[in-house]
Amino acid sequence: MTASSERPRVLRSSLPLVPLAPLVVIVVAAAVAAAIGLLGMDYLSRASRDDAASRAHLLAETLGARLAFTPSSDRQAAVSLAARRTAAEVLVTDAQGRPKLDATLGPPAPDACVAFARENHGEATTRMGAVRYATHAMDAGDVLFVFVRVPPAEGAPALLTALLALTTLLVSVAAIVAFAVARDAEKDVVYVSQRVLAMAKVRTEPAGEAVPLRSMDEVGVLTSAFNDLVARFAAAEAAYHRDLRRAAAADRDRAQFLAAVSHELRTPLNAILGFADVLMKGVDGPLDEAQREEVQQIRDSGAHLNDLIEDILDLSAIESGQLKLHSASVDLRSVVEDVMRELSVVAAKAGLALKLDDGPAVVVWADKRRVRQIVGNVLGNAVKFTQVGAVTVRVMSRGTFGSVMVRDTGPGIRESERQIVFEEYRQAGGERARHRGTGLGLAIAKRLAMTQGGSIELDTEVGRGSTFTLLLPLSPERAR
């Protein structure tokens, strides 16, 4: 799933399974029965026409042979007798289609008779209705025509009755079977759906329980696959919790180790700083310039190491959740002025101007000691990494927050490194990488700000400096 473009899937409505399955069976069976009925009727109709054609051909051949030996005076009687006995129409015409012997309900037109004679046999319509005809050539160019009516399809009523009865029986059985199968399938689907929905509502056991198998059909296969998925999810969840517990234990052990080591380092470090101060004051005798410089280097290194230990302890306390805050109303401008006084000597040595813009008093709700630590880290970083120019500080209100904006004229930070400066034990490249430190200052400052309901923003451009903005919530009395 993508994070931004994924949309909720719309469920399409569908017909219920129980009435749909028998309905489909009935519709399909009715269509098949209708097709069979049409094919059967067509077959019977063709059989009737073929039978009429065979009778017409046989009568034409038989009667034509008989008339050839019948005297002319008796031929009309013979034709009439043959028509009565065979229920056919008999007609004898000359070559132009004019009737000579007629035993029909009404002879066709001469043109039609000529056309019939040319075709020799075929299908036509007379006063009897649809007929099949056959011709027989006689002497003197005369032509004998025999017309046999096409009877209705024999067996059609019986076919329709049998087909209707069979269709009703088969459709009834199939509909009952389909209804039973669909009902059982729907029951299984509803059961599985209810179990899955109930499983989704249980919050104490995210993995849920396996759904019992009630059948070995497709629903059963789906249920089995779902149970396998639940089992895999449960195993993954258990592994996740085990790893989470290990990680939490490792974090606690690391925090305890750092706290213990840092505490053990403080005792000899305080002794080093104390004796360095004693030597600098000349208690044991005056120091020449080289000795004073060496002792000063020892003290600066010890002070730097002490700052590192403090940073490690603060980070350990934040990560372990043991950091204790004492929130109260804090004058933000007063804190900034105190930090600037401490850094003024360092800024003056570096040839930097340290400026505080005029503005009203801003009171925030925070821990004063931690606010001083945050401002000291941000402002100290600005002084440390600015070679030429000035560091300007501005205190003001912004909505429901009080803000401290620190703008420097340093080298700036590249786009790809803006997040690095707020990560533990990491520093941006270039000018920043050449200064000693663990890279914890800004990381701790941001965490302390977030812990107190605030944040730190960064706006920077390579070659034009950086602006760090600390935001802390205003004191309740000032926020009204």
pLDDT digit string, tens, across residues 444-463: 888 889 989 999 998 888 88
Among candidate residues 402, 419, 413, 426, the one with its CA nearest the CA of residue 475: 402
Among candidate residues 466, 410, 476, 471, the one with its CA nearest the CA of residue 445: 471
Say if strands 401-408 and 465-473 run parallel, antiparallel, or are unpaired. Answer: antiparallel
At residue 431 the predicted structure's pLDDT band, cuts being 50, 70 and 90, is: very low
CB-CB contact of 220 with 242 (8 Å)? no
> What are the structure tokens assigned to 319, written together?
């990560």
Q: Which helix (H) or strand (E) holds 233?
A: helix 218-281
Higher-confidence residue of 239 and 201: namely 239
Say whether pLDDT at 24 is over 80.
no
Tell me the percentage of the chain whose pLDDT exceeds 90: 12
Report pLDDT for 154: 61
Say whether pLDDT at 14 is over 70.
no
Place of tokens 């602006």: 467
For residue range 203-239, what is the model confidence (pLDDT) as tens digits? Answer: 545 555 666 666 656 667 777 777 777 778 778 888 8
What average pLDDT does range 338-360 have in this prediction?
88
Say whether pLDDT at 407 is over 90.
yes
Tell me the percentage of the chain whose pLDDT exceeds 70: 84
Q: Give CA–CA dist 379/443, Å, rounded.
A: 14
CB-CB contact of 380 with 343 (8 Å)? yes
Report pLDDT for 391: 92
Say whether pLDDT at 13 is over 50.
no
Measured CA distances, 462 to 45, 405, 410, 428, 430 (Å)? 97, 18, 9, 12, 11
At residue 201 the predicted structure's pLDDT band, cuts being 50, 70 and 90, is: low
Higher-confidence residue of 189 and 17: namely 189
Among candidate residues 235, 87, 230, the one with its CA nearest the CA of residue 147: 87
Q: Is 329 left (phi over 0), alpha (psi -120 to 50) or beta?
A: beta
What average pLDDT does range 162-177 have in this prediction?
77
At residue 73 the predicted structure's pLDDT band, cuts being 50, 70 and 90, is: confident
Helix, strand, coil share of the chain (percent; to 5) = 60, 15, 25
Q: Which residues pair with 121 in a beta bridge?
A: 134
Maximum average pLDDT range among 160-169, 368-377, 422-431: 368-377
Q: Give CA–CA dist 93/117, Å, rounded.
A: 10
Maximum average pLDDT range among 140-144, 159-163, 301-305: 140-144
Report pLDDT for 2: 44
> What are the structure tokens assigned to 464, written together?
């034009």
What average pLDDT does range 364-369 have in this prediction?
91
Q: Give CA–CA dist 421/439, Å, rounded.
A: 7
Report pLDDT for 469: 93
Q: Among 201-215, 255-269, 426-440, where is mean pLDDT lowest?
A: 426-440
Report pLDDT for 366: 92
Sequence-ordered list of residues with C-beta below 8 angstroms from that of 203, at least 6 positions apart, any chain:
none
Measured CA distances, 342 to 11, 379, 432 (Å)? 66, 11, 22
Q: Among 63-77, 85-99, 277-291, where is mean pLDDT lowest?
A: 277-291
Say if strands 401-408 and 390-398 run parallel, antiparallel, or are unpaired. Answer: antiparallel
What average pLDDT does range 463-477 have in this prediction?
88
Q: Which residues pair with 125 in a beta bridge?
A: 130
CB-CB contact of 444 with 296 (8 Å)? no
Say if strands 89-93 and 99-103 run parallel, antiparallel, or are unpaired. Answer: antiparallel
Report pLDDT for 64: 84
State if pTM tops 0.85.
no
Average pLDDT, the chain: 79
End-to-end CA distance of the chain: give it in Å, rounded: 44
What average pLDDT does range 292-307 have in this prediction?
80
Higher-confidence residue of 215 and 354: namely 354
Say whether pLDDT at 472 is over 70.
yes
Sequence-ordered list of residues with C-beta below 8 angstroms from that of 99, at least 6 positions apart, any chain:
91, 92, 93, 107
